[in-house]
Amino acid sequence: MNLIQLFKSIKPFVMPYKWLVLATLTLTLIGSFMAQVNAIVLDWTVDSINDHIQAGGKWGKEAIEIVSFIAIVLLGKEALSAIITFAQRYFGEKMRIFVSKDLAQAVIEKVLTFRVAFFSANDNEAGKLQTRIDQGVSSLSRTVQNFFIDLLPLFTSAILALILMFKANVWVGLTALCIVPIYFYITYRQAVKLKGWRRDMRHFRELKSHGIMNIIESINVIKSFNRERIEGDKQLDIQNRVTNNQMETRKVSFFFDGLKSFMQQIGTVLIIILTAYLVLDDYPGMSIGKIMYHVMLFNNVAAPINQLQRIFDDMNDALIYAEGFFGILDSDQEIEPTGTYKPEKVHGNFEISGVDFTYPNGTKALHNINMKIESGKITAFVGLSGAGKSTIVNLLDKFYEPDCGSIKLDGVDLKEYDTKFLRDNIGLVLQKNHIFDGTIAENILYGNPNASIDEVYEAAKKAYLYDQVMALPDKFDSKATLLSGGQQQRIAIARMFLKNPPIIFLDEPTASLDAIATEQIKNSIDAIKKNRTVIIISHSISQIIDSDTIYALQNGRVEQGGDPDEVYKQGGIYKDIVDASARSLNIEKIAKAIEGDNKKETSL
Ligand code: ADP
């Protein structure tokens, strides 16, 4: 990205505030004119007092007039300056803050429209994405300030001071003018040298925040394995690289800053010598006041150029961060695809034919999948972890698109469906259900924001959550994140009941529930399967055995499919899994225990 592209990209965000920009700009311009007043007044003061002394004048009416005039002009100018500075800073800051809000909101809204594949890419992990957005917003809003508010007045101030110097004396003007390009060149070299380091810094910042997020998410595991040291060391490596980068950046900056400051001093000394020579040589129009006058004007030329360094740095930062930021904002190919098909009613019969699927990171998760999933039945996906069960559900929910083959719902390709409509008709309960910050009621309402509180209670009852929530001090107004894993799982199930969709996908919905809750939820699910399509991914043998159809997957392929009893009889992976589950449950002993208990009861 170059400066012109950057300018074009930012412009739409500044347009809504053009009056604010104009007001700030005008005030800043007035400010840069006023900055020259001090030099002019001082020149006049020194010369007037000098003339007064030369003429043998003492403290008296004339001297009082001179001093009063100076006092009024300087104080008046300062008072006006204070008002202007306040207004200018306030408006400038207001614009920066508003633009920064709009940039942040625009990127959040954009990211929400992206396909799920975008978030699985390595480069877009949560911490990295967050840093890219944060840095983008802050550096771009600084650029807005630089571009639209600071730059023009800075140049005006420098040019104005230069014109005054030329007006006072051509040689003095030329001396100042000679220093300026050298100054520019040093600033430019500094920026070029720093560019690579700054780019690396962006990468390190992303790594750092990703690392910290990882630690927070896995803190229990880290502590239980006593791996604080190892995690600390991993971060130390990033810290060392950041430190190294910072030190290099500082070294380059300090070297060039020193060089510039030296150049400025050379300029000041040259101007003092030149003016002193001209005064002593009785050059026309030269007086002793001119020494101060020229030095102050030269400072007015150098100060904005000093600022230019900051602007240069900011712009370079902005160019670096803008790539990542506008990369997100302008990346329309990441937007989730949608069709237009919205049938009156969704029956829920899926047909998957010849589907292959590869994740964005290159993992091929599905090979030639063929399945029929019918409405009014419970279809179970069985297989070892990593077999591809959740991946199929991801495809059915249109989170990803298959590499080849087709997925049809009620005879129409999923691609044709309006994505929002499709998802309105699907209830998804995942193993790890994200509970949002907020109350239990709010979290259940996520399933249907228009539902009444009675409907929320009803859904909670179906998910066997109601009694537990009513026992809490704040009942349905308690914070949902404080609930146990199993209770959070039931919130997700209640959410699904409230949504009441014709298609339901349950990805290990009872994984974190106790045995009694599992049985209760199983009953609820059995009760709602009528006229619905239910797909369940489960390791729970009872849920699998009770399903109408099973598909056994292995390494991304469907190995077996059909009626559970018949598939079991065929032998193979399904039988292996059921037998292993039965052994791990120690069914024989359980049966004996139950039998013994029954005998005791009958003998009583
Ligand atoms: P299952 O649900 O049967 O346990 P998955 O469908 O989750 O299995 O995973 C199938 C394969 O796809 C695995 O090899 C897994 O590592 C991989 N996989 C799952 N999710 C992703 C993802 N977001 N990005 C890359 N690979 C993934």
pLDDT digits (tens, 9 = 90+) for 145-181: 877 777 777 778 888 888 888 888 888 889 888 888 8
205 Cα distance to chain centroid: 13
Question: Residues lining ligand 1, judged by CB closer than 6 Å?
Answer: 120, 359, 361, 363, 365, 383, 385-391
Residues of the chain with CATH 1.20.1560.10: 3-16+92-329
Alpha carbon of 353 to ligand 1 centroid (Å): 20
Alpha carbon of 279 to ligand 1 centroid (Å): 84
Test site for ligand 1: of 123, 359, 428, 558, most ligand atoms within 8 A of the Cβ: 359
517 — pLDDT class (breaks 50, 70, 90):
confident
The mean of the pLDDT values for the chain is 84
Q: Is the pLDDT of residue 27 over 70?
A: yes
Residues of the chain with CATH 3.40.50.300: 350-576
Test site for ligand 1: of 116, 357, 363, most ligand atoms within 8 A of the Cβ: 363
Cβ(348)–Cβ(504) under 8 Å?
no
pTM for this prediction: 0.73
- Give the pLDDT score at 599: 64
If you ran DSSP here, which 8-state letter would residue 235 be given? H
| CATH T-level assignment (fold) for domain 3-16+92-329 | ABC transporter transmembrane region fold (1.20.1560)
Spell out the SS3 assignment of 360-420. CCCCEEEEEEEEEECCCCEEEEEECCCCCHHHHHHHHCCCCCCCEEEEEECCEEHHHECHH
Decide the pairing of beta strands 549-554 and 557-562.
antiparallel
Q: What is the average pLDDT across 345-371?
A: 91
Q: What is the average pLDDT across 472-483?
A: 86
Nearest CA to ligand 1 atom 27: 359
What is the Cα gyration radius of the chain?
37
600 — pLDDT class (breaks 50, 70, 90):
low
Test site for ligand 1: of 367, 390, 395, 559, most ligand atoms within 8 A of the Cβ: 390
Architecture of domain 350-576: 3-Layer(aba) Sandwich (3.40)
CB-hemisphere CA count at 13 Å for 78? Answer: 7
Cβ(259)–Cβ(185) under 8 Å?
no
The answer to which of 309-323, 442-456, 496-510 has the lowest mean pLDDT is 309-323
Q: What is the average pLDDT across 494-518?
A: 82
Alpha carbon of 457 to ligand 1 centroid (Å): 35
Atom of ligand 1 nearest to the CA of 394: 6
Alpha carbon of 518 to ligand 1 centroid (Å): 25
